[in-house]
Amino acid sequence: MKRAVHAEWTKLRTEGGTGRLMLGVIATTAAVSAGVASTSRCPALDCGGDATRLSLTGIMVGQVVVAIVAVLVIGNEYNTGMIRTTLTAMPRRITVLAAKATVLTGVMLVAGTISVLASLLSGRILLPDNGFNTEHGYAALSLTDGPTLRAALGSVLYLALIALLSLGAATAVRNSATAIGIVLALLFVFPILTRVVTNEDWQRHLEQIAPMPAGLAVQSTVGLSALPIGPWQGLGVLALWAAVALVSGGLLFRSRDA
């Protein structure tokens, strides 16, 4: 396993576009978060806004780049035929997939941490001037605050789980474009359905099982009782989606020809 992890890290590190895409995750997430923080307003006391969640809005956009990076981890090898060389050097396919997942998770945890810290910093700087201040009942964003820390840690884990979900999908379908389409559909079609469906119970159920709405519940720091699903339970739903994708991809990877 150690040799497989080292090989996958070498491939990821030396791949030309990977570094740029990882910077894209950080830049996109931080830029969108800063943009939302600079335009959000709290004109009165207890205006109802969630300052922490507003500061982390960029995660919704950054996850798209995360999905692309994760899909390309194995998709590029199928596109170029390098997967045959990989499996010749390391015939144990589950070990190969586990190594890819390990390296991908480590890289995404680092990129996610930087993205989240940059997003919260922009919120801490920009939001007070827009009314999210002590006069309106908001303390400055700080990781010493339990709910904010939970939202920050959860957002980092969210990005890592999106990466694993995407890796599993790409392993299953063996085509980068198809895999990206599947992942984006899973992430964004459910929120659209919740707006199309008029029954409130069905809306709530869809939000409870959907990977993005459920997973991003971990960012909420106010009005938790009104959420369709609890913060950590929602992240658990996303973890289940990622596990199913990886297990399905792994079974197909092991049972068919490269």
Contact (Cβ atoms closer than 8 angstroms) between residue 26 and residue 59: no
The contacts of residue 43 (CB under 8 Å, 6+ apart) are 131
Residues 9, 94 contacting (CB under 8 angstroms): no
How is the chain split into domains, by residue range? Answer: 2-255
Q: Note the pLDDT of residue 178.
A: 93
**pLDDT mean over 114-143:** 90
Q: What percent of the chain has pLDDT over 90?
A: 56
Mean pLDDT score, 166-194: 91
pLDDT, one tens digit per residue, over 71-106 is 998 888 887 777 787 777 787 888 889 999 999 999
Please report the pLDDT score of residue 198 as a whole number.
77
Report the C-alpha gap between 28 and 112 in whole angstroms.
11
Decide: pTM greater than 0.75: yes
Q: What is the pLDDT of residue 231?
A: 94
pLDDT tops 90 at residue 116: yes
pLDDT top residue among 16 and 177: 177
What number is the average pLDDT over the span 181-188?
93
Q: What pLDDT digit, counting tens, does each position of 204-237 carry?
A: 888 899 999 999 999 999 888 888 999 999 999 9
Q: Which residue has the higher pLDDT, 16 or 50?
A: 50
Alpha-carbon distance 106 to 22, whole Å? 12
The reported pLDDT for the residue numbered 257 is 66
Instruction: Give 157's pLDDT tier (boundaries 50, 70, 90).
Output: very high
pLDDT of residue 201: 85
Q: What is the mean pLDDT of the chain?
A: 89
- Spatial separation of the C-alpha atoms in residues 177 and 213, rounded to whole Å: 24
Q: How far apart are CA 99 and CA 89, in angstroms?
A: 13
Beta carbons of 26 and 115 less than 8 angstroms apart: yes
